[in-house]
Structure 1
C-alpha cells in the first residue's frame, strides 16, 4: 500500500514539468485541462478606499460581510451559515438564493455599496465583472446554473425578494480573492493565491502579452489575474487507489489533482487503500489528521498509511507550485521574491510536536524541487491573511 502512495523526487519533478506545460497550453487555448481563466480586473494596489458588501460561497459555508478598505481593512459586520445543504440531490437555484438571502438579511448594509462575490467554483470571468459558471465541483450539482452568469441572477433575486437595491456585482474565484488580499503585503516580485482545503486551486498574475488567447482582445492589456483551475490537473504517477476514488465519484475523469490532494477526498483515498473500509466510512482530512495525532487509537499500519497520504498531498502541492514558479520564471527571469498567499484548513493543519505539519512539508519539498531545477535562489514566502476571501472580494468590487 505504502509503495503505491510514495512519490520520489524524480516523479515530483515530472509532475512539476507536466503542470508547467499544461499551464502554457491553457494560456494559449480555452477549455484545456488547466483552464487558465483570465479575470478582467486590475486590482488597485494603492490609494484604494471605500466600503463594499461581500458574499463568500465556499464548499461548506456561506458568509456575508461589510468590508471597509483604506489605510486599514476592517470587517465591520459578518454573518455566516453552514451551506452543505447545497450537496443534497434536488437542491435548486431558488433554494440557494433563498438560503443566501436569509443570511444577508442579518446585515445592516448601507445603500449604494458595490457587491463583491467570492464564488469558489470554476467560472469564466466576464468583462462586466460577472462570471459564468463552468461546472459545479465539491459534490455540488445544482441544475440550470452551469453556463449562466452567477452574479446578476443572485442580486436580481435579492432585490426582488427584499428591500435591497444592489446594482453592481463583481464575481471572483476564491483563489483570485486570496491573490488580491495578498497584495497588501508589498515587496514581492510575484504573487500566487493558493487554496488547499475542501478543494484546491491556484492563481497568479501573467502579463497579457504572455496569454496568447487574449491576443484578439485589444481593449485588455497589462497584468492579468489568472485562475488556473488547477484542481482539474491530471498529474502522472497517481496510484490505483486514486483511480478507484475517481471511478466512484460523480465527476469521472475530472478534478484528478483535487481528488488526490484536497480535504474532501483524502479520506476516500485512505478507504480504498485499506481492507477494513467500513471502519472509516466517514473519514475526511480532519479525521485523517486526527488519526495521525492519536496513534494509540489505530493500527500501526493505518497510521503510517494515513501519514503517507497526508504527506503525498503536500508534496503534490509542492510539485505543482514548482511548475508554476518555473512558468513565472520563463515569463520573467528577474523574479526573485514570491509570495504564496495560502488558504484552507488542510494547508495550515498541524500534527504532533516533532512532526512536520502540512505547510512545512510543502515548503521543504518545494525548496528541494526548486534547487533541482536550478531555481533555488528564488525566495518563496508562504503567507496567511485572516478573511482573505472577504478582503479580496472587497478589493475586486472597489477596483472595478
Structure 2
C-alpha cells in the first residue's frame, strides 16, 4: 500500500547514522567529500557592545535587521524588515539584481545610522568560509540559481554594492562583513546557554543542515594559519548525504521511486538527496508525486502537508496516512542524522572503550518552520525527532548522552549579529 512505502526499520536508521558519522569524519580530513564539513573561521565572542546590521537569506524570505548589544544584557533586535526572495522572485536574476533587491530593503531601515558599520550575513547555501570571515559560494540549493556567483566571494561584493547604493552614503559606510551559514548562526545563538558539554545547530525548514563545534584535533584539513580557539564551528552541509546501502543496489536506502521522481524534477538533480527526503521545501512534492491524480495548489509544501494531518476529517483516509508517513519519515531521518553527528562528537567507533565520556549533555539549537511545526492529532515534529534520537542513541549503547532541544527566537539574526562582532 502507498501508506507503507515510506516505512523503514530501526537497523536502517542506525545504518544511516553510522554512515553519516563516517562521512563526517571523511569530510573533516579533506575537501571534496560528500559531507563537505566546512570550517567557519570565526571565533564567537561575548560581552559585545554596539549596533550591527544582521542579514538573513534562507530560501524563502530575505530579512534585514538592526541588532543592538549591551554588556550584561541579551541582544535586542531594534528593527526587522523582510521581503519574499525565493526561487520564484529570483528567477533569471544576475548578481546585481539580487544585490539591488537586498539593498532596497536595507535602505528602508530607520535604525541604520553611522554607528552601524559591521554586517553579519546569514547565507544559507553551501559556502566555504575564508580566514577573513567571508565565504565562497560552492553551489546553489533550494531551487535558487544565479550562476555568475558560483565560486565567488559572498560577502565583500555585497558590502561594496551597499556602500555605493543611492542614499547609503548619507546613512553609513560599512567596514566589515562576516558570512555564516544558518546552522552556524543557530549554533552561535545557542552558545548563549551555558553548561552543556557540546552544541549542535540544526535547521529543518525549506532546507535542512547541521553544524557543530568540533575540536580542531579532529579536523585534519583545518587551515594551519587559523589561530582561533580549540573548538571550531563546522558547517556540515549534511543535506547532501547519500546513505550507502549494504547491497549497493540503490542510490540511497531511504529513497523510494517517489523520491527519485522528486529529484528528477528538481533543478539540482542528483544532489541534496537527503534534504529532498526531509525538508519542507520538498515534502509537498513527495506527496503530490505519490498522488499525481489529485489536483493540488501549485505551492503544496510542508505546511500544507501538516494541515492534512491536523484536519483529517476533510481528506481521504489514505491521504492522511501517507501525509503522516512522509512527515514521520522526515523526523526519523533528522533524528538519524543527529545520532550520526553525536557519534562523531563522542568519538564513537563502535566499542565502549572508544567514546568520549565527557560528552553527556548536548544543546541542540534548532530552527526552521518544519522542525517547530505542530500536529494537532499527534506528536509535534520536534518531539518526534527527540524521541527517535534518544532511541537511536540507546541502540548504539549511548544511553548516557542526552540531547536537549532549545527553541531560540530569531536565532539566525542573533547568530549572524554575533558573527559580525567576533
In the superposition, the TM-score normalised over structure 2's length comes to 0.91
Distance across 1 between alignment mates of 2:122 and 2:299: 29
Structure 1: which 5+ runs fail to align?
none
Distance across 2 between alignment mates of 1:17 and 1:73: 38
SS of the aligned residue for 2:335 comes to helix
Distance across 1 between alignment mates of 2:292 and 2:384: 28
CA RMSD of aligned residues (A): 1.5
1:117 is aligned to 121
SS of the aligned residue for 1:213 comes to coil
Distance across 1 between alignment mates of 2:161 and 2:208: 30
| Matching of residues 237-276 of structure 1 within 5 Å | 237-238=253-254, 239-276=256-293
SS of the aligned residue for 1:193 comes to strand
- Aligned residue pairs: how many? 397
Distance across 2 between alignment mates of 1:85 and 1:320: 27
Distance across 1 between alignment mates of 2:153 and 2:81: 24
Distance across 2 between alignment mates of 1:368 and 1:381: 14
Q: Give the one of 139, 154, 160 matched to 2:143.
A: 139
CA deviation string 1:339-372 (max 9, x = no partner): 000000100111114x101011101101110100
Q: Give the one of 193, 201, 221 matched to 1:193.
A: 201
Distance across 1 between alignment mates of 2:87 and 2:202: 26
1:37 is aligned to 38
CA displacement at 1:215 relative to structure 2? 6.4
| Matching of residues 48-127 of structure 1 within 5 Å | 48-70=48-70, 71-84=73-86, 88-107=90-109, 108-112=111-115, 113-127=117-131
1:176 is aligned to 184
CA displacement at 1:24 relative to structure 2? 0.6
Contact 1:176 1:392 in 2 (8 A): yes
SS of the aligned residue for 1:214 comes to coil
Distance across 1 between alignment mates of 2:324 and 2:147: 38
Distance across 2 between alignment mates of 1:42 and 1:149: 20
CA deviation string 1:4-28 (max 9, x = no partner): 2011111100110011001011101
CA deviation string 1:284-305 (max 9, x = no partner): 1011000111112211111100
Q: Give the one of 132, 135, 138 matched to 1:128.
A: 132
1:208 is aligned to 216
Contact 2:43 2:229 in 1 (8 A): no
Distance across 1 between alignment mates of 2:341 and 2:236: 10
Distance across 1 between alignment mates of 2:95 and 2:384: 40
CA displacement at 1:277 relative to structure 2? 4.2
CA displacement at 1:87 relative to structure 2? 5.1
Of residues 74-83 and 386-395 in structure 1, the stretch that sits farther from structure 2 once superposed is 74-83
SS of the aligned residue for 2:149 comes to coil
CA deviation string 1:23-67 (max 9, x = no partner): 0111011111100000001111x4333321111111111111111
Distance across 2 between alignment mates of 1:53 and 1:280: 37
Of residues 332-341 and 318-327 in structure 1, the stretch that sits farther from structure 2 once superposed is 332-341
Contact 1:342 1:384 in 2 (8 A): yes
| Matching of residues 365-380 of structure 1 within 5 Å | 365-380=388-403
SS of the aligned residue for 2:34 comes to coil
Q: 1:114 to 1:88 in 2, by over 3 A?
A: closer
SS of the aligned residue for 2:5 comes to helix
CA deviation string 1:292-339 (max 9, x = no partner): 111122111111000000000000000000010111001733111100
Contact 1:263 1:286 in 2 (8 A): yes
Distance across 1 between alignment mates of 2:207 and 2:226: 34
